[in-house]
Chains A and B, each alone.
Chain A
Amino acid sequence: MKITVITGSPHKNGTSSLLADEFIRGATESGHTIFRFDSAFEDVKPCLGCDKCRKSGACVRKDAMEKLYPELIEANAIVFVMPVYYFGMPAQIKTVIDRFYFPESKMKGGRKTALLATAYSPHNEIMTSLVAQYQQVADWMGWANAGMVLATGCGARDDIEHSQFPEQAFALGKRM
């Protein structure tokens, strides 16, 4: 499969990037091809809601989404990896997801998806609103949820390195 992994963290070696690395290691071992897009390190501007894409077939924004769009359309799986900021996804990855609007019809159906998220809080409720949104997006796009790794209690790299979550991320990648 072709798997597109979209990360949301501004930390290059943070908690969620470890999950991304482990997921990718597992998926690569199973023979899948990976395209990784680190939202926080790319130039992506927010959707203007101008609807011009629906009329002209092109987004008016010219930025890093131009390289992501083909990878979204051709992917067999789209995987989201991020820390939780204020009970939701970081603005950096939400900016990317809002821009799905243009190629949306070409991205619908026939794909798998997965969510790997980290949070400082040890309480499971920290994940509920992100998971709700993830499930709604998956339903809307017609994607099958391949699994979730919800790494609570992981505020820093040291926390997650001593948890079972990297292993779960590897296993999820492996069984994609």
Chain B
Amino acid sequence: MDENHSSNTIEGYSRRQVLQLAGGVVVTLLGSTLGNGMAFAALNGDKKMKIVILTGSPHEKGTSALLTDEFIAGAKGKGHTIVRFDTAFEQIGPCRACYYCDSHDGQCFQRDAMDKILPEVLSADMIVLVTPIYYYNMSAQLKVVIDRFRAKRDAMRAHPMKSAFIATCGGSAEWSMDGVDAHYRCLLKYLPWDDQGVLYAKKVYARKDIEATGYPDKAKEFGQRL
């Protein structure tokens, strides 16, 4: 089965794929220049964690919401604390790249839900991104949040934590998740995040599709093994 890769396997695979797609762009590993999250691998040990979950789906009871619920059930069972933000139901404006934050101590000029999300992210032991795949990447709703990390970029890069990525898509092709996986791998090289794994659920367009698969159990197990 290919839906729950170990980091090493999928990293090797997707980088090769991406190089192919990019027409053989020569790569200088960002890991060597921008910091490498793996250095923090043993950070939390058996400690009970605060896990911040950012979901990107506009569906309250969709495929990725089910995986989120199951992941949370698993993680709560291990005593971890969960802080969940369903970004599609929050008011969040896109980054305007005005650089106001650079001269205002990392404070964005926009007053919105990022005011509550960023402090939670910056005090978390683990971050989990959950999204349906829209046009081969995370939903725009979740990308808004990622872009708004910009205001706290120094603090984000100085805050090591564990991370995971969970995504669902209707497509069933081997390469359906390549674009989003390449994106997550790049984030891991830039931010000091220690990847705990990914769960990619393919060929699940609607709730009934995913309910008939083993993915919900996998999501729960994922939460349980933290």
Contact = CB atoms under 8 A, between A and B. Distances in A.
Interface of A: 9-11, 14, 40, 46-50, 83, 85-92, 94-95, 97-98, 100-101, 121, 123-129, 131-133, 135-137, 140, 150
B140 A88 contact: no
8 contacts: A88-B138, A88-B183, A94-B139, A94-B140, A98-B139, A125-B30, A133-B182, A133-B183
Interface stretch (B20-28, B117-125, B214-222): B20-28
Nearest to B146: A86
Nearest to A11: B97
Contacts of B23: 131
B58 interface: yes
Contact of B190 (A10, A87, A97, A101): A87
Contacts of A50: 58
A147 to B, nearest CB: 11
B13 interface: no
Interface of B: 17-19, 21-23, 25-30, 33, 57-59, 62, 88, 94-98, 132, 134-141, 143-144, 146-147, 149-150, 175, 178-180, 182-183, 185-187, 190
Contacts of B94: 10, 40, 90-92, 95
A129 B139 contact: no
Contacts of B139: 46-47, 94, 98
Given A48-B58, A94-B135, 7 more contacts: A9-B97, A46-B139, A85-B147, A86-B143, A88-B146, A97-B134, A133-B183
Nearest to B148: A91
Contact of A47 (B62, B134, B185): B134
Contacts of B187: 86-87
Nearest to A141: B135
A31 B178 CA distance: 37
Contact of A46 (B95, B141, B146): B141
B143 A94 contact: yes
Contact of B186 (A9, A89, A91, A129): A129
A89 B59 contact: no
A100 B136 CA distance: 13
Contact of B22 (A83, A94, A123, A132): A132
A129 B18 contact: yes
B95 A88 contact: no
